[in-house]
Amino acid sequence: MSNKSVPGSIDSSGNKQGTFLEGEQSRPHEHNSGSSGRDVEAFRNTYKDDKVVHREKASDWGKIHNDNDYADYDSSGDSGK
């Protein structure tokens, strides 16, 4: 839907207003195939006064799975974003 939405902008106070296409990655996870990694994808985040009021996957941009070996992954303090 939101590829029709009004593009985001930064107002004079430095606040995000409108819809921004923003990349994010998930925290590392493992699949039934035994592979593990992070999902990297785009979201359309819609802001009002710098607060996200709506977000959705930018399905028209797709996603990738970043396959990595996380055997030594240390979970402490990793937000994934």
CA 73 – CA 76 distance, rounded (Å): 9
- Under the criterion CB under 8 A, does residue 8 sit at the interface with other proteins? no
Tokens matching residue 1: 């839907």
60: amino acid identity, one letter = D
- Under the criterion CB under 8 A, does residue 57 sit at the interface with other proteins? yes
- Under the criterion CB under 8 A, does residue 13 sit at the interface with other proteins? no
- Pure H helices in the chain: none
Residues pairing with 52 in the sheet: 47
Give the shortest CB-38-to-other proteins separation in angstroms: 10
- Under the criterion CB under 8 A, does residue 15 sit at the interface with other proteins? no
Tokens matching residue 17: 């207003």
Pick out residues in 36-55 that bind other proteins (CB under 8 A).
36-37, 39, 41, 46, 48, 51, 53-54
Give the shortest CB-23-to-other proteins separation in angstroms: 13
